[in-house]
Chain A
Protein backbone atom coordinates (compact mmCIF):
# COMPACT_ATOMS: atom_id res chain seq x y z
CA UNK A 1 0.00 0.00 0.00
CA UNK A 2 2.78 2.42 0.91
CA UNK A 3 4.57 1.32 -2.25
CA UNK A 4 1.91 2.88 -4.49
CA UNK A 5 1.65 6.04 -2.46
CA UNK A 6 5.33 6.78 -2.91
CA UNK A 7 5.03 8.14 -6.49
CA UNK A 8 2.30 10.73 -6.74
CA UNK A 9 -0.56 11.75 -4.49
CA UNK A 10 -3.49 9.63 -5.69
CA UNK A 11 -7.13 10.39 -5.45
CA UNK A 12 -7.58 7.26 -3.38
CA UNK A 13 -5.93 9.14 -0.52
CA UNK A 14 -8.77 11.62 -0.49
CA UNK A 15 -10.94 10.40 2.32
CA UNK A 16 -14.04 12.14 1.01
CA UNK A 17 -14.39 9.79 -1.99
CA UNK A 18 -13.49 6.70 -0.09
CA UNK A 19 -16.16 7.37 2.51
CA UNK A 20 -18.91 8.87 0.40
CA UNK A 21 -18.47 6.60 -2.62
CA UNK A 22 -18.24 3.43 -0.58
CA UNK A 23 -21.29 4.52 1.42
CA UNK A 24 -23.58 5.30 -1.53
CA UNK A 25 -22.46 2.13 -3.27
CA UNK A 26 -23.23 0.17 -0.13
CA UNK A 27 -26.73 1.68 0.06
CA UNK A 28 -27.39 0.84 -3.59
CA UNK A 29 -26.08 -2.70 -3.30
CA UNK A 30 -28.36 -3.21 -0.30
CA UNK A 31 -31.29 -1.97 -2.41
CA UNK A 32 -30.33 -4.60 -5.00
CA UNK A 33 -29.43 -7.55 -2.81
CA UNK A 34 -31.65 -7.18 0.25
CA UNK A 35 -34.76 -8.23 -1.71
CA UNK A 36 -32.92 -11.24 -3.13
CA UNK A 37 -31.71 -12.28 0.31
CA UNK A 38 -35.13 -11.65 1.80
CA UNK A 39 -36.72 -13.81 -0.89
CA UNK A 40 -34.41 -16.67 0.06
CA UNK A 41 -35.09 -16.33 3.78
CA UNK A 42 -38.85 -16.06 3.33
CA UNK A 43 -38.94 -19.05 0.98
CA UNK A 44 -38.00 -21.26 3.92
CA UNK A 45 -40.22 -19.47 6.43
CA UNK A 46 -43.59 -20.68 7.65
CA UNK A 47 -45.54 -17.67 6.38
CA UNK A 48 -43.66 -15.93 3.55
CA UNK A 49 -46.26 -13.20 3.22
CA UNK A 50 -46.09 -12.07 6.82
CA UNK A 51 -42.79 -10.33 6.30
CA UNK A 52 -41.43 -11.92 9.45
CA UNK A 53 -38.94 -14.80 9.07
CA UNK A 54 -39.37 -18.16 10.72
CA UNK A 55 -40.34 -20.73 11.82
CA UNK A 56 -38.14 -22.32 9.19
CA UNK A 57 -39.55 -25.06 6.99
CA UNK A 58 -38.98 -26.65 3.62
CA UNK A 59 -42.75 -26.92 3.16
CA UNK A 60 -42.94 -24.53 0.18
CA UNK A 61 -40.32 -26.45 -1.74
CA UNK A 62 -42.39 -29.55 -1.08
CA UNK A 63 -45.50 -27.95 -2.59
CA UNK A 64 -43.57 -27.45 -5.81
CA UNK A 65 -43.64 -31.23 -6.17
CA UNK A 66 -47.37 -31.62 -5.50
CA UNK A 67 -48.59 -28.47 -7.28
CA UNK A 68 -47.12 -28.77 -10.75
CA UNK A 69 -48.92 -25.91 -12.54
CA UNK A 70 -45.57 -24.24 -13.03
CA UNK A 71 -44.15 -27.09 -15.11
CA UNK A 72 -45.80 -26.14 -18.40
CA UNK A 73 -44.82 -22.44 -18.26
CA UNK A 74 -41.30 -23.54 -17.32
CA UNK A 75 -41.10 -25.89 -20.27
CA UNK A 76 -42.35 -23.21 -22.68
CA UNK A 77 -39.88 -20.67 -21.31
CA UNK A 78 -36.95 -23.07 -21.60
CA UNK A 79 -37.92 -23.97 -25.15
CA UNK A 80 -38.31 -20.32 -26.10
CA UNK A 81 -35.06 -19.36 -24.39
CA UNK A 82 -33.16 -22.10 -26.21
CA UNK A 83 -34.58 -21.08 -29.60
CA UNK A 84 -33.78 -17.41 -28.95
CA UNK A 85 -30.30 -18.26 -27.68
CA UNK A 86 -29.46 -20.44 -30.66
CA UNK A 87 -30.71 -17.88 -33.19
CA UNK A 88 -28.85 -15.11 -31.40
CA UNK A 89 -25.62 -17.13 -31.39
CA UNK A 90 -25.79 -17.73 -35.14
CA UNK A 91 -26.79 -14.17 -36.07
CA UNK A 92 -24.39 -12.53 -33.62
CA UNK A 93 -21.54 -14.62 -35.03
CA UNK A 94 -22.39 -13.72 -38.60
CA UNK A 95 -22.59 -9.99 -37.86
CA UNK A 96 -20.07 -9.80 -35.00
CA UNK A 97 -17.17 -11.33 -36.90
CA UNK A 98 -17.88 -9.12 -39.91
CA UNK A 99 -18.00 -5.80 -38.07
CA UNK A 100 -14.26 -5.40 -37.34
CA UNK A 101 -13.56 -6.07 -41.02
CA UNK A 102 -16.17 -3.77 -42.52
CA UNK A 103 -14.53 -0.70 -43.95
CA UNK A 104 -17.51 1.60 -44.44
CA UNK A 105 -20.81 1.82 -42.66
CA UNK A 106 -19.60 -0.02 -39.56
CA UNK A 107 -21.09 2.64 -37.30
CA UNK A 108 -24.43 2.58 -39.08
CA UNK A 109 -24.72 -1.22 -38.85
CA UNK A 110 -23.84 -1.18 -35.16
CA UNK A 111 -26.30 1.63 -34.49
CA UNK A 112 -29.14 -0.24 -36.19
CA UNK A 113 -28.29 -3.51 -34.42
CA UNK A 114 -27.91 -1.97 -30.95
CA UNK A 115 -30.82 0.48 -31.31
CA UNK A 116 -33.37 -1.68 -29.39
CA UNK A 117 -31.17 -1.52 -26.28
CA UNK A 118 -32.35 2.05 -25.78
CA UNK A 119 -36.03 1.61 -26.58
CA UNK A 120 -38.45 1.03 -23.69
CA UNK A 121 -39.81 -2.53 -23.73
CA UNK A 122 -43.40 -1.37 -23.96
CA UNK A 123 -42.64 0.51 -27.18
CA UNK A 124 -41.11 -2.56 -28.84
CA UNK A 125 -44.02 -4.66 -27.58
CA UNK A 126 -46.62 -2.25 -28.96
CA UNK A 127 -44.79 -1.82 -32.25
CA UNK A 128 -44.54 -5.56 -32.83
CA UNK A 129 -48.13 -6.15 -31.71
CA UNK A 130 -49.54 -3.59 -34.13
CA UNK A 131 -47.26 -4.82 -36.91
CA UNK A 132 -47.93 -8.56 -36.53
CA UNK A 133 -51.46 -8.66 -35.17
CA UNK A 134 -53.16 -5.66 -36.69
CA UNK A 135 -51.22 -4.91 -39.88
CA UNK A 136 -50.33 -8.45 -40.97
CA UNK A 137 -53.33 -10.07 -39.26
CA UNK A 138 -51.28 -12.89 -37.72
CA UNK A 139 -52.26 -14.82 -34.63
CA UNK A 140 -49.93 -14.20 -31.69
CA UNK A 141 -48.20 -17.12 -30.00
CA UNK A 142 -44.81 -18.65 -29.40
CA UNK A 143 -43.46 -17.28 -32.68
CA UNK A 144 -44.29 -13.66 -31.84
CA UNK A 145 -42.76 -14.09 -28.38
CA UNK A 146 -39.72 -15.48 -30.17
CA UNK A 147 -39.52 -12.39 -32.41
CA UNK A 148 -39.94 -10.00 -29.47
CA UNK A 149 -37.33 -11.78 -27.37
CA UNK A 150 -34.95 -11.83 -30.32
CA UNK A 151 -35.18 -8.05 -30.64
CA UNK A 152 -34.32 -7.76 -26.96
CA UNK A 153 -31.55 -10.39 -26.77
CA UNK A 154 -29.71 -10.00 -30.06
CA UNK A 155 -27.96 -6.69 -29.20
CA UNK A 156 -26.54 -8.25 -26.03
CA UNK A 157 -25.38 -11.38 -27.85
CA UNK A 158 -23.78 -9.18 -30.50
CA UNK A 159 -21.92 -7.20 -27.83
CA UNK A 160 -20.64 -10.44 -26.30
CA UNK A 161 -19.37 -11.67 -29.67
CA UNK A 162 -17.83 -8.26 -30.38
CA UNK A 163 -15.79 -8.49 -27.17
CA UNK A 164 -13.90 -11.45 -28.62
CA UNK A 165 -14.19 -10.51 -32.32
CA UNK A 166 -12.45 -7.18 -31.74
CA UNK A 167 -9.56 -9.00 -30.07
CA UNK A 168 -9.28 -11.45 -32.98
CA UNK A 169 -6.22 -11.01 -35.17
CA UNK A 170 -7.26 -11.48 -38.82
CA UNK A 171 -3.61 -12.09 -39.81
CA UNK A 172 -4.13 -15.59 -38.41
CA UNK A 173 -6.61 -16.19 -41.24
CA UNK A 174 -4.17 -14.89 -43.83
CA UNK A 175 -1.46 -17.25 -42.64
CA UNK A 176 -4.06 -20.03 -42.68
CA UNK A 177 -4.82 -19.18 -46.30
CA UNK A 178 -1.11 -19.09 -47.15
CA UNK A 179 -0.77 -22.57 -45.72
CA UNK A 180 -3.55 -23.75 -48.00
CA UNK A 181 -6.56 -23.93 -45.69
CA UNK A 182 -9.96 -23.52 -47.37
CA UNK A 183 -12.32 -20.75 -46.24
CA UNK A 184 -14.38 -23.22 -44.24
CA UNK A 185 -11.27 -24.78 -42.64
CA UNK A 186 -10.02 -21.32 -41.69
CA UNK A 187 -13.30 -20.56 -39.97
CA UNK A 188 -13.65 -23.94 -38.27
CA UNK A 189 -10.06 -24.46 -37.12
CA UNK A 190 -8.79 -20.90 -36.54
CA UNK A 191 -11.56 -18.38 -36.10
CA UNK A 192 -14.32 -20.33 -34.39
CA UNK A 193 -12.18 -21.71 -31.54
CA UNK A 194 -11.06 -18.16 -30.73
CA UNK A 195 -14.57 -16.68 -30.94
CA UNK A 196 -16.23 -19.61 -29.19
CA UNK A 197 -16.25 -18.14 -25.67
CA UNK A 198 -17.90 -14.93 -26.82
CA UNK A 199 -20.49 -16.83 -28.83
CA UNK A 200 -21.36 -19.13 -25.92
CA UNK A 201 -21.64 -16.33 -23.41
CA UNK A 202 -23.73 -14.37 -25.89
CA UNK A 203 -26.03 -17.39 -26.08
CA UNK A 204 -26.20 -17.69 -22.30
CA UNK A 205 -27.08 -14.00 -21.94
CA UNK A 206 -29.70 -14.31 -24.67
CA UNK A 207 -31.24 -17.32 -22.93
CA UNK A 208 -31.50 -15.53 -19.60
CA UNK A 209 -32.87 -12.32 -21.10
CA UNK A 210 -35.55 -14.32 -22.88
CA UNK A 211 -36.19 -16.50 -19.84
CA UNK A 212 -36.91 -13.48 -17.61
CA UNK A 213 -38.62 -11.24 -20.18
CA UNK A 214 -41.91 -9.61 -19.19
CA UNK A 215 -42.15 -6.07 -20.61
CA UNK A 216 -42.41 -7.20 -24.26
CA UNK A 217 -44.05 -10.56 -23.63
CA UNK A 218 -47.28 -9.13 -22.25
CA UNK A 219 -48.11 -7.70 -25.68
CA UNK A 220 -46.88 -10.58 -27.79
CA UNK A 221 -47.86 -13.70 -25.93
CA UNK A 222 -51.34 -14.32 -27.28
CA UNK A 223 -52.53 -17.10 -24.96
CA UNK A 224 -49.09 -18.50 -24.23
CA UNK A 225 -48.05 -18.35 -20.59
CA UNK A 226 -44.30 -18.18 -20.05
CA UNK A 227 -42.81 -18.72 -16.62
CA UNK A 228 -42.12 -15.04 -15.78
CA UNK A 229 -45.65 -14.15 -16.88
CA UNK A 230 -47.06 -17.00 -14.78
CA UNK A 231 -45.04 -15.93 -11.72
CA UNK A 232 -45.93 -12.29 -12.23
CA UNK A 233 -49.62 -13.05 -12.50
CA UNK A 234 -49.52 -15.29 -9.45
CA UNK A 235 -47.79 -12.51 -7.54
CA UNK A 236 -50.24 -9.80 -8.65
CA UNK A 237 -53.35 -11.79 -7.80
CA UNK A 238 -53.41 -12.40 -4.09
CA UNK A 239 -53.95 -16.13 -4.29
CA UNK A 240 -52.74 -18.82 -1.95
CA UNK A 241 -50.10 -19.79 -4.47
CA UNK A 242 -47.84 -16.94 -3.42
CA UNK A 243 -45.62 -18.99 -1.07
CA UNK A 244 -44.96 -21.29 -4.01
CA UNK A 245 -43.70 -18.31 -6.01
CA UNK A 246 -41.07 -17.62 -3.40
CA UNK A 247 -39.54 -21.08 -3.53
CA UNK A 248 -39.78 -21.30 -7.33
CA UNK A 249 -38.18 -17.86 -7.73
CA UNK A 250 -35.32 -18.82 -5.43
CA UNK A 251 -34.55 -21.88 -7.54
CA UNK A 252 -34.65 -19.78 -10.73
CA UNK A 253 -32.43 -17.13 -9.14
CA UNK A 254 -29.81 -19.69 -8.17
CA UNK A 255 -29.78 -21.35 -11.60
CA UNK A 256 -29.65 -17.94 -13.34
CA UNK A 257 -26.74 -16.79 -11.17
CA UNK A 258 -24.79 -19.92 -12.06
CA UNK A 259 -25.43 -19.36 -15.78
CA UNK A 260 -24.32 -15.70 -15.54
CA UNK A 261 -21.18 -16.74 -13.66
CA UNK A 262 -20.29 -19.26 -16.38
CA UNK A 263 -20.90 -16.66 -19.11
CA UNK A 264 -18.65 -14.11 -17.43
CA UNK A 265 -15.97 -16.64 -16.75
CA UNK A 266 -15.96 -17.61 -20.45
CA UNK A 267 -15.93 -13.99 -21.55
CA UNK A 268 -13.41 -12.42 -19.19
CA UNK A 269 -12.15 -14.83 -16.55
CA UNK A 270 -10.36 -17.43 -18.61
CA UNK A 271 -8.14 -14.90 -20.37
CA UNK A 272 -6.59 -13.66 -17.12
CA UNK A 273 -4.80 -16.91 -16.44
Chain B
Protein backbone atom coordinates (compact mmCIF):
# COMPACT_ATOMS: atom_id res chain seq x y z
CA UNK B 1 0.00 0.00 0.00
CA UNK B 2 2.87 2.34 0.86
CA UNK B 3 4.41 1.93 -2.56
CA UNK B 4 1.03 2.27 -4.25
CA UNK B 5 0.35 5.60 -2.55
CA UNK B 6 3.96 6.52 -3.23
CA UNK B 7 3.48 6.22 -6.96
CA UNK B 8 0.18 8.03 -6.58
CA UNK B 9 1.78 11.09 -4.93
CA UNK B 10 3.89 11.63 -7.99
CA UNK B 11 0.73 12.43 -9.91
CA UNK B 12 -0.66 14.82 -7.34
CA UNK B 13 0.80 18.15 -6.35
CA UNK B 14 1.62 18.17 -2.64
CA UNK B 15 -1.02 20.67 -1.52
CA UNK B 16 -2.89 18.69 1.05
CA UNK B 17 -4.68 16.11 -1.07
CA UNK B 18 -4.55 12.63 0.36
CA UNK B 19 -4.04 10.06 -2.40
CA UNK B 20 -5.41 7.48 0.00
CA UNK B 21 -8.85 9.05 0.16
CA UNK B 22 -9.11 9.33 -3.60
CA UNK B 23 -7.97 5.76 -4.14
CA UNK B 24 -10.41 4.49 -1.49
CA UNK B 25 -13.37 6.21 -3.16
CA UNK B 26 -12.30 5.13 -6.63
CA UNK B 27 -11.70 1.59 -5.39
CA UNK B 28 -15.20 1.41 -3.93
CA UNK B 29 -16.50 2.90 -7.17
CA UNK B 30 -14.82 0.11 -9.14
CA UNK B 31 -16.55 -2.43 -6.88
CA UNK B 32 -20.08 -1.08 -7.31
CA UNK B 33 -19.94 0.28 -10.87
CA UNK B 34 -17.21 -1.13 -13.07
CA UNK B 35 -17.20 -4.72 -11.79
CA UNK B 36 -21.01 -5.14 -12.07
CA UNK B 37 -20.91 -3.76 -15.61
CA UNK B 38 -18.10 -6.09 -16.60
CA UNK B 39 -20.04 -8.90 -14.91
CA UNK B 40 -23.00 -8.04 -17.10
CA UNK B 41 -20.95 -8.68 -20.22
CA UNK B 42 -19.72 -11.99 -18.78
CA UNK B 43 -23.24 -13.14 -17.85
CA UNK B 44 -24.55 -12.47 -21.31
CA UNK B 45 -22.17 -15.09 -22.73
CA UNK B 46 -23.15 -17.83 -20.30
CA UNK B 47 -26.14 -20.12 -20.37
CA UNK B 48 -28.71 -21.27 -17.88
CA UNK B 49 -29.60 -24.87 -17.23
CA UNK B 50 -32.28 -25.56 -14.64
CA UNK B 51 -31.82 -22.04 -13.34
CA UNK B 52 -28.14 -22.73 -12.75
CA UNK B 53 -25.42 -20.90 -14.61
CA UNK B 54 -23.20 -23.04 -16.74
CA UNK B 55 -19.70 -21.67 -17.04
CA UNK B 56 -19.11 -22.20 -20.71
CA UNK B 57 -19.18 -19.44 -23.30
CA UNK B 58 -22.13 -19.42 -25.64
CA UNK B 59 -24.11 -17.01 -27.77
CA UNK B 60 -27.38 -18.61 -26.70
CA UNK B 61 -28.61 -15.49 -24.87
CA UNK B 62 -28.09 -13.35 -27.95
CA UNK B 63 -29.87 -15.90 -30.12
CA UNK B 64 -32.81 -15.84 -27.69
CA UNK B 65 -32.78 -12.09 -27.96
CA UNK B 66 -33.35 -12.22 -31.70
CA UNK B 67 -36.01 -14.91 -31.48
CA UNK B 68 -39.37 -14.64 -29.70
CA UNK B 69 -41.07 -11.31 -29.32
CA UNK B 70 -38.04 -9.54 -27.91
CA UNK B 71 -36.86 -8.29 -31.24
CA UNK B 72 -40.18 -6.52 -31.65
CA UNK B 73 -39.75 -4.92 -28.23
CA UNK B 74 -36.26 -3.74 -29.15
CA UNK B 75 -37.41 -2.24 -32.44
CA UNK B 76 -40.34 -0.53 -30.73
CA UNK B 77 -38.13 0.95 -28.00
CA UNK B 78 -35.60 2.24 -30.52
CA UNK B 79 -38.39 3.62 -32.72
CA UNK B 80 -40.02 5.52 -29.85
CA UNK B 81 -36.67 6.86 -28.66
CA UNK B 82 -35.69 7.90 -32.19
CA UNK B 83 -39.00 9.69 -32.86
CA UNK B 84 -38.85 11.58 -29.57
CA UNK B 85 -35.18 12.44 -30.09
CA UNK B 86 -36.00 13.90 -33.52
CA UNK B 87 -38.87 15.93 -32.05
CA UNK B 88 -36.54 17.21 -29.32
CA UNK B 89 -33.96 18.13 -31.94
CA UNK B 90 -36.49 20.10 -33.96
CA UNK B 91 -37.62 21.91 -30.82
CA UNK B 92 -34.23 22.36 -29.20
CA UNK B 93 -32.04 23.60 -32.06
CA UNK B 94 -33.89 26.87 -32.79
CA UNK B 95 -34.51 27.34 -29.07
CA UNK B 96 -30.84 26.89 -28.15
CA UNK B 97 -29.76 29.33 -30.86
CA UNK B 98 -32.30 31.86 -29.61
CA UNK B 99 -31.35 31.38 -25.98
CA UNK B 100 -27.61 31.60 -26.66
CA UNK B 101 -27.55 34.32 -29.28
CA UNK B 102 -31.06 35.65 -29.80
CA UNK B 103 -31.80 37.12 -26.40
CA UNK B 104 -29.39 39.33 -24.54
CA UNK B 105 -31.50 39.69 -21.42
CA UNK B 106 -29.70 37.99 -18.52
CA UNK B 107 -32.85 37.46 -16.40
CA UNK B 108 -34.56 35.74 -19.33
CA UNK B 109 -31.56 33.42 -19.71
CA UNK B 110 -31.29 32.64 -16.01
CA UNK B 111 -35.01 32.00 -15.59
CA UNK B 112 -35.17 29.84 -18.71
CA UNK B 113 -32.16 27.76 -17.68
CA UNK B 114 -33.56 27.33 -14.17
CA UNK B 115 -36.96 26.37 -15.60
CA UNK B 116 -35.23 23.69 -17.66
CA UNK B 117 -33.20 22.35 -14.73
CA UNK B 118 -35.76 22.19 -11.93
CA UNK B 119 -38.01 19.48 -13.48
CA UNK B 120 -35.05 17.10 -13.63
CA UNK B 121 -35.17 16.80 -9.86
CA UNK B 122 -38.94 16.37 -9.69
CA UNK B 123 -40.70 13.03 -9.62
CA UNK B 124 -41.14 11.69 -13.14
CA UNK B 125 -44.15 9.56 -12.28
CA UNK B 126 -45.92 12.58 -10.77
CA UNK B 127 -45.39 14.52 -13.96
CA UNK B 128 -46.52 11.58 -16.07
CA UNK B 129 -49.74 10.34 -14.41
CA UNK B 130 -51.44 13.62 -15.28
CA UNK B 131 -51.34 12.73 -18.98
CA UNK B 132 -53.60 9.77 -18.22
CA UNK B 133 -56.41 12.06 -17.20
CA UNK B 134 -55.71 14.52 -20.02
CA UNK B 135 -55.53 11.92 -22.81
CA UNK B 136 -58.19 9.59 -21.40
CA UNK B 137 -61.55 8.79 -23.02
CA UNK B 138 -63.35 11.36 -20.86
CA UNK B 139 -60.40 13.72 -20.70
CA UNK B 140 -60.36 17.36 -21.79
CA UNK B 141 -58.90 16.65 -25.24
CA UNK B 142 -61.58 14.15 -26.21
CA UNK B 143 -64.30 16.30 -24.65
CA UNK B 144 -63.10 19.36 -26.54
CA UNK B 145 -62.89 17.52 -29.88
CA UNK B 146 -66.37 16.05 -29.37
CA UNK B 147 -68.02 19.29 -28.36
CA UNK B 148 -66.44 20.94 -31.41
CA UNK B 149 -68.10 18.22 -33.46
CA UNK B 150 -64.82 17.07 -34.98
CA UNK B 151 -65.32 13.49 -33.81
CA UNK B 152 -68.35 11.41 -32.75
CA UNK B 153 -66.53 8.80 -30.69
CA UNK B 154 -63.75 9.56 -28.21
CA UNK B 155 -60.35 8.75 -29.72
CA UNK B 156 -59.13 5.59 -28.01
CA UNK B 157 -55.59 5.80 -29.40
CA UNK B 158 -54.81 8.92 -27.38
CA UNK B 159 -54.03 6.93 -24.24
CA UNK B 160 -52.33 3.56 -23.66
CA UNK B 161 -50.64 3.78 -27.03
CA UNK B 162 -47.30 4.61 -28.56
CA UNK B 163 -48.69 8.07 -29.23
CA UNK B 164 -49.30 8.65 -25.51
CA UNK B 165 -45.80 7.42 -24.65
CA UNK B 166 -44.24 9.78 -27.19
CA UNK B 167 -46.27 12.74 -25.91
CA UNK B 168 -45.30 11.92 -22.33
CA UNK B 169 -41.59 11.64 -23.17
CA UNK B 170 -41.28 15.01 -24.94
CA UNK B 171 -41.34 17.16 -21.80
CA UNK B 172 -38.95 15.21 -19.55
CA UNK B 173 -36.33 14.67 -22.28
CA UNK B 174 -36.23 18.21 -23.64
CA UNK B 175 -33.73 19.73 -21.14
CA UNK B 176 -30.95 17.15 -21.74
CA UNK B 177 -31.13 18.02 -25.45
CA UNK B 178 -31.11 21.78 -24.92
CA UNK B 179 -28.23 22.09 -22.45
CA UNK B 180 -25.33 20.74 -24.55
CA UNK B 181 -26.69 22.57 -27.62
CA UNK B 182 -26.98 25.80 -25.68
CA UNK B 183 -23.40 25.47 -24.38
CA UNK B 184 -22.08 24.74 -27.86
CA UNK B 185 -23.87 27.72 -29.43
CA UNK B 186 -22.79 30.05 -26.60
CA UNK B 187 -19.18 29.20 -27.40
CA UNK B 188 -19.55 30.47 -31.00
CA UNK B 189 -18.13 33.98 -31.11
CA UNK B 190 -20.55 36.81 -31.90
CA UNK B 191 -17.99 38.22 -34.31
CA UNK B 192 -18.21 35.07 -36.46
CA UNK B 193 -21.94 35.49 -36.83
CA UNK B 194 -21.59 39.20 -37.45
CA UNK B 195 -18.91 38.55 -40.09
CA UNK B 196 -21.14 36.05 -41.81
CA UNK B 197 -23.92 38.61 -41.92
CA UNK B 198 -21.63 41.39 -43.11
CA UNK B 199 -20.53 39.19 -45.98
CA UNK B 200 -24.14 38.97 -47.06
CA UNK B 201 -25.15 35.54 -45.74
CA UNK B 202 -28.81 34.92 -45.04
CA UNK B 203 -29.76 33.61 -41.59
CA UNK B 204 -30.38 30.18 -43.13
CA UNK B 205 -26.95 30.17 -44.77
CA UNK B 206 -25.24 31.24 -41.54
CA UNK B 207 -27.12 28.53 -39.68
CA UNK B 208 -26.17 25.82 -42.16
CA UNK B 209 -22.53 26.80 -42.68
CA UNK B 210 -21.47 28.52 -39.43
CA UNK B 211 -23.69 27.60 -36.50
CA UNK B 212 -24.44 23.96 -37.31
CA UNK B 213 -20.83 22.82 -37.90
CA UNK B 214 -19.61 24.60 -34.79
CA UNK B 215 -22.48 23.30 -32.65
CA UNK B 216 -22.01 19.70 -33.80
CA UNK B 217 -20.36 18.51 -30.54
CA UNK B 218 -23.31 19.89 -28.59
CA UNK B 219 -25.69 18.23 -31.00
CA UNK B 220 -23.98 14.88 -30.51
CA UNK B 221 -23.90 15.20 -26.74
CA UNK B 222 -27.57 16.21 -26.69
CA UNK B 223 -28.42 13.21 -28.83
CA UNK B 224 -26.65 10.83 -26.44
CA UNK B 225 -28.09 12.43 -23.29
CA UNK B 226 -31.61 12.18 -24.72
CA UNK B 227 -31.62 8.92 -26.61
CA UNK B 228 -29.71 6.74 -24.12
CA UNK B 229 -31.69 7.41 -20.92
CA UNK B 230 -34.91 7.15 -22.91
CA UNK B 231 -34.30 3.56 -24.02
CA UNK B 232 -33.78 2.66 -20.36
CA UNK B 233 -36.81 4.50 -18.98
CA UNK B 234 -39.61 2.27 -17.66
CA UNK B 235 -41.73 4.99 -16.02
CA UNK B 236 -43.37 6.78 -18.93
CA UNK B 237 -44.01 3.72 -21.15
CA UNK B 238 -45.58 1.77 -18.28
CA UNK B 239 -47.80 4.61 -17.08
CA UNK B 240 -48.94 5.80 -20.51
CA UNK B 241 -48.58 2.58 -22.47
CA UNK B 242 -50.74 0.74 -19.96
CA UNK B 243 -49.26 -2.66 -20.81
CA UNK B 244 -49.83 -2.14 -24.53
CA UNK B 245 -46.44 -0.61 -25.18
CA UNK B 246 -43.77 -2.96 -23.85
CA UNK B 247 -40.27 -1.46 -23.97
CA UNK B 248 -36.80 -2.81 -23.22
CA UNK B 249 -36.81 -1.63 -19.59
CA UNK B 250 -40.05 -3.54 -18.83
CA UNK B 251 -38.81 -6.51 -20.81
CA UNK B 252 -35.63 -6.74 -18.72
CA UNK B 253 -37.68 -6.55 -15.54
CA UNK B 254 -39.94 -9.44 -16.53
CA UNK B 255 -36.91 -11.47 -17.62
CA UNK B 256 -35.35 -11.02 -14.19
CA UNK B 257 -38.64 -11.96 -12.55
CA UNK B 258 -38.64 -15.31 -14.36
CA UNK B 259 -34.95 -15.72 -13.44
CA UNK B 260 -33.82 -15.58 -17.06
CA UNK B 261 -30.59 -13.86 -16.10
CA UNK B 262 -28.52 -14.42 -19.20
CA UNK B 263 -31.01 -12.94 -21.64
CA UNK B 264 -31.59 -10.00 -19.28
CA UNK B 265 -27.83 -9.48 -19.26
CA UNK B 266 -27.66 -9.76 -23.04
CA UNK B 267 -30.43 -7.14 -23.43
CA UNK B 268 -28.56 -4.78 -21.10
CA UNK B 269 -25.29 -5.36 -22.94
CA UNK B 270 -27.15 -4.58 -26.15
CA UNK B 271 -28.24 -1.21 -24.70
CA UNK B 272 -24.70 -0.53 -23.50
CA UNK B 273 -23.44 -1.37 -26.98
CA UNK B 274 -25.84 1.17 -28.50
CA UNK B 275 -24.46 3.79 -26.13
CA UNK B 276 -20.82 2.94 -26.84
CA UNK B 277 -21.56 2.78 -30.57
CA UNK B 278 -23.19 6.20 -30.61
CA UNK B 279 -20.36 7.70 -28.56
CA UNK B 280 -17.80 6.15 -30.91
CA UNK B 281 -19.56 7.48 -34.02
CA UNK B 282 -19.73 10.92 -32.45
CA UNK B 283 -16.02 10.86 -31.57
CA UNK B 284 -15.09 9.73 -35.08
CA UNK B 285 -17.24 12.41 -36.71
CA UNK B 286 -15.76 15.11 -34.49
CA UNK B 287 -12.22 13.89 -35.03
CA UNK B 288 -12.73 13.82 -38.79
CA UNK B 289 -14.04 17.35 -38.67
CA UNK B 290 -11.09 18.61 -36.64
CA UNK B 291 -8.67 16.98 -39.09
CA UNK B 292 -10.42 18.58 -42.05
CA UNK B 293 -10.25 21.96 -40.36
CA UNK B 294 -6.57 21.62 -39.53
CA UNK B 295 -5.56 20.74 -43.09
Contacts and interface: CB of A to CB of B under 8 A. Distances in A.
A48 B40 contact: no
Contacts of A22: 95, 98, 102
Contact of A18 (B18, B98, B170, B171): B98
Given A32-B171, A215-B249, A126 B256 contact: yes
B16 A187 contact: yes
B11 A104 contact: yes
Interface in B27-58: 28-30, 32-37, 39-40, 43, 53
Contact of A122 (B19, B24, B190, B232): B232
A257 B122 contact: yes
Contact of B36 (A50, A131, A209, A259): A131
Contacts of B267: 126
Contacts of B129: 39, 235, 242, 245-246, 249
A51 B29 CA distance: 46
B246 interface: no
Contacts of A113: 26, 29
B228 A31 contact: no
Nearest to A184: B16
Contact of B25 (A32, A94, A242, A253): A94
Interface string B68-101: 0000000000000000000010111011111101
Contacts of A104: 11
B97 A35 contact: no
A228 interface: yes
Contacts of B279: 118
A132 B36 CA distance: 8
Nearest to A254: B122
Given A135-B39, A219-B256, A35 B171 contact: yes
A24 B94 contact: yes
Contacts of B35: 131
Nearest to A31: B171
A12 to B, nearest CB: 5
By secondary structure, the A interface counts as helix
Contacts of A124: 33, 36-37
A56 interface: no
Contact of A21 (B36, B102, B125, B225): B102
Interface in A225-273: 228, 231-232, 235-236, 242, 245-246, 249, 252-253, 256-257, 259-261, 264
Contacts of A65: none
B12 A260 contact: no
Please indicate which of the listed interface residues B25, B97, B124, B131 has the most CB atoms of chain A within 10 Å of its own CB. Answer: B25
Contacts of A105: 11
A218 interface: yes
Contacts of B121: 205, 208-209, 212, 256, 259-260
Contacts of B128: 35
B215 interface: no
A236 B43 CA distance: 32
A28 B102 CA distance: 17
A254 to B, nearest CB: 10
Contacts of B172: 32
Contacts of A98: 12, 17, 19, 21-22
A24 B101 contact: no
A9 B194 contact: yes
Given A126-B40, A127-B40, A12 B101 contact: yes
A193 to B, nearest CB: 15
Contacts of A205: 121
A113 B204 CA distance: 40
Contact of A118 (B125, B193, B225): B225
A214 to B, nearest CB: 5
A130 B36 contact: yes
Nearest to B227: A120
B271 A122 contact: yes
Given A31-B170, A101-B12, A126-B268, A214 B124 contact: yes
Given A17-B94, A115-B33, A191-B16, A121 B229 contact: yes
A116 B167 CA distance: 27
A28 B179 CA distance: 13
B295 interface: no
Contacts of B136: 49, 51
A173 B15 contact: yes
A29 interface: yes
A174 to B, nearest CB: 7
29 contacts: A8-B190, A10-B190, A12-B101, A17-B203, A21-B95, A21-B99, A24-B95, A25-B91, A28-B178, A32-B127, A39-B127, A95-B22, A97-B17, A103-B10, A103-B11, A109-B22, A112-B26, A112-B30, A120-B228, A121-B232, A122-B233, A122-B234, A125-B252, A126-B265, A130-B43, A187-B16, A212-B124, A215-B249, A218-B253
Interface of B: 10-13, 15-19, 21-22, 24-26, 28-30, 32-37, 39-40, 43, 53, 88, 90-92, 94-99, 101-104, 112, 114-119, 121-134, 136, 138-140, 143, 167, 170-172, 174-175, 178, 190-191, 193-194, 197-198, 203-204, 206, 224-225, 228-229, 231-235, 238-239, 248-249, 252-253, 256, 261, 264-265, 267-268, 271-272, 275, 279
